[in-house]
Amino acid sequence: MNARRFVFLDPDGMDDGWLYVVVEAPTGVFYQQQYGGTACRQGQLEGYLVPVFGPDALDALGELFVRHFRGAGTWNHRWSGDEVATLRPIVAGITFWACDGVNDHPHDLRLDDARIAEADEAWIPVRTPDGPGVLMWSNSD
C-alpha cells in the first residue's frame, strides 16, 4: 500500500478567500497547487497545511501579482528591491499560529529571501516558527 497522499488545493477554482501555508515536513502528504496566474504552473510540496490569517493580505497580494505583474506570473523574473520591499510587509502582516501542544502563539510570517526566485502568484516561500514553507492562496486565472 502506498502511504503517500496527494491533496489538490482548490481543485474547482471556486473559493478565493483562503490563505494557507504548507510547512515543509516529511509527512507523506503532498499538497498540490496551481499557481503563477495565467501561466498555470503546477507545484507540490510535502508537509502539513496551516490556515493563516491576514485581513488585508489577499487584496495586497492581488494588487501586486494581478495588477503589477499583470496576472502572468513571475517565472524567471528577477525581483527588484522595490518589489521585494512591497512583498515583505504583506507577508509579515499574515499571522501564523504555532502551538507547542499546550499553548498557541501568534507569529508573523517572514518572506524567505533566500528563495525569492521561487516566488510567484499563489506560491511564496516563507519562514515560519516551524521552519520553511510556502504561502498559498487561490490562483487568479
Per-residue pLDDT at 2? 66
Q: Which residues of 16-52 are buried (b: 16+ CB within 10 A; e: fewer)?
A: eeebbbbbbeebebebebbbbbebebebebbbebbeb
Q: Is residue 1 predicted with pLDDT exceeding 70?
A: no
The predicted model scores a pTM of 0.92
Residue range 111-127: average pLDDT?
Answer: 96
> Which of the four pLDDT bands, split at 50, 70 and 90, describes residue 132?
very high
Range of the domain at 99: 5-137
Residue range 47-59: average pLDDT?
Answer: 94
Number of domains in the chain: 1
Beta bridge partners of 131: 128
> Which residues have C-beta within 8 Å of that of residue 57, sequence separation ≥ 6?
19, 90, 91, 93, 94
pLDDT digits (tens, 9 = 90+) for 59-113: 999 999 988 998 888 888 899 999 999 999 999 999 999 888 888 889 999 999 9
Higher pLDDT, 118 or 101: 118
Q: Is residue 14 predicted with pLDDT exceeding 70?
A: no
Per-residue pLDDT at 38? 86
Mean pLDDT score of the chain: 91
